[in-house]
Amino acid sequence: MTIINNPFYLVLDQGTSSSKIFLFDEWQNIIFSDRERHNLNRLQEHHVESNPIDILNACTKLISSAINFAKSKNGEIVSMGMAVQRSTFLFWDKQNFKHYTQAISWQDSRAQAESDAFSKHADRIQDITGVPLSAHFGAPKYIHLTALDTELKQKAENNKLWFGPLSAYLTHSFTGNPALDESIAGRSLLMNLGEIAWDYELCSLFGVPMVCLPPLTSTVHNFGLVEIDDIQIPLNCVIGDQQAALIGQGGSTPGTLAMNFGTSGSVQYNSGSEPNRVPGLLSNVLYSTLSTRNYLLEGTISASSSLFYWIENELNIPHNEMRWDMRCEKTATNGIFIPGFAGIAAPYWIDGFKTIYHNLDGVSNDEIIRAGMETIGFLVHDIYKSIVDKTKLKLNLITVSGGGARAPLLQFIADLLQIKIGHTTLKDRTALGVYKLLRILDNKFSADESVECDRIFSPKMDISIREEKLKNWRTALDKIIRS
């Protein structure tokens, strides 16, 4: 057995608008990091996409930079893992990896009409997949893209193309091996959650040929070798970014719950070795090995940090003047602002509506921004209530991570949930989650659930004000549900 004196672990965190690279040493320290941005194109309303080659090139550049750093430290990268944005789908060639479509973002809902056409099957779809029917997921996107391009459809049916999430495209491009991990596959609306296999009934229902779906694998798995700059690195983990974030926050033990706010938001509950199915929420694989599997019950929020970028454009606020957290800290509102650009994900799954302004006539920009921030909190409240109703979970403290986890939002969530909210001190929890999974192969996986918080937010809102706010939220939400 070869002993490596200075082993490093490489983690690629591939996100919505940028990719980040990290090198960990064997003691869990981040010794190197770098970042590359890529364009997110909004060609028209409800259309959000990226060029997959731009993403692949950015990731390749980052891996190369990590390799160069490791060389400078006389170290060797012994293992690599990837956390990847979910629900971003595309077609690519099985032989030469050429992409045949853009990477249609998880934020994209252009396939709403195709999704609506299957509404009478919604309960059956969620029963099989654990995931609600939505235009944001894979099967409706498949139908939409192939309806526009008969050649694309023929190639998919004739075993020429793969259709899958961005993680599978990157895995295939890097290693030459087609594979799709279980944690992201559920977002296709085609995987049977009970059997962890492509479901014949759903593939037939949506008209998706199984031959174009990449082989399913566990999240911790020998995916193959990534060869860059004449260096070969074994790719041993591919996982959804939010799943990795939960593990990084100490959520690898069943019964734990955490929240993460980045471009989108997520409330995540480790439901253990058996999946929990809750209407409006997503039940997916949290992580898996060849011998074990844990499940995730999750509520996603389509717009977290991305909401404030959108508001910048709507209100013509320069980016360097937004500072939404500072604006919200000093502002109060009785209004409700529900942006329609990304729709509402959990627990309602409503796409394609006009932005709702409720009790916001003639108010300042700061009040609109505050109302937008509170919408994130209201959705967290409704998701959390759905989880508690199902699991009877009782918590004294919930930890929160991510760049969007800022003081006014966390205080508002504490007020709505009537639970203490702790902001975690360690950044890059997603990368840490991947690193921890990589150490499974060394028998060094740590299930340490201790999470340090630099600030605790305790409930302080008057109960009558809280109830009035929730009442206004339900009134505004009903306008969308009824439309």
- pLDDT of the residue at 450: 67
User: By the 8 A CB rule, do 265 and 233 touch?
Assistant: no
- pLDDT of the residue at 247: 93
Q: Tell me how far apart the alpha carbons of residues 293 and 342 are, in angstroms, rounded to a whole number.
A: 32
Q: Which are the contacts of 427, defined by CB distance < 8 A and separation ≥ 6?
A: 401
What are the structure tokens assigned to 165, written together? 């999430």
Q: Which are the contacts of 100, defined by CB distance < 8 A and separation ≥ 6?
A: 90, 91, 92, 93, 152, 155, 161
What are the structure tokens assigned to 46, written together? 């409800």
Per-residue pLDDT of the chain (483 residues; tens, 9 = 90+): 456 778 999 999 999 889 999 999 999 999 999 999 998 898 888 899 999 999 999 999 999 999 999 999 999 999 999 999 999 999 999 999 999 999 999 889 999 999 999 999 999 999 999 999 999 999 999 999 999 999 999 999 999 999 999 999 999 999 999 999 999 999 999 999 999 999 999 999 999 999 999 999 999 999 999 999 999 999 999 999 999 999 998 888 899 999 989 888 999 999 999 999 899 999 999 999 999 999 999 999 988 888 999 999 999 999 999 999 999 999 999 999 998 888 899 999 987 788 889 999 999 999 999 999 999 999 999 999 999 999 999 999 999 988 899 999 999 999 999 999 999 877 788 999 999 999 998 888 876 666 788 999 999 999 999 999 999 999 999 988 876
Q: Which are the contacts of 160, defined by CB distance < 8 A and separation ≥ 6?
A: 93, 94
Please, what's the b/e burial string for 103-115 (b: 16 or more CB within 10 A of its CB; e: otherwise)? Answer: bbbbbbbbbbebb
In a domain, 106, yes or no: yes
In a domain, 51, yes or no: yes
In a domain, 319, yes or no: no
Domain coverage including residue 18: 7-238
Q: Are strands 420-424 and 397-401 parallel, antiparallel or unpaired?
A: parallel
In a domain, 288, yes or no: no
- pLDDT of the residue at 46: 85
Please give the distance of CA 302 from its chain centroid, rounded to a whole number.
9
- pLDDT of the residue at 14: 97
Domain of 163: which CATH number? 3.30.420.40
Q: Tell me how far apart the alpha carbons of residues 378 and 301 are, in angstroms, rounded to a whole number.
A: 10
Q: Are strands 336-338 and 220-228 parallel, antiparallel or unpaired?
A: unpaired
Q: Tell me how far apart the alpha carbons of residues 449 and 251 are, in angstroms, rounded to a whole number.
A: 7
User: The pTM is what?
Assistant: 0.91
- pLDDT of the residue at 19: 96
Angle at CA of residue 482, ends 478 and 483, nearest 5°: 115
Number of domains within the chain: 1
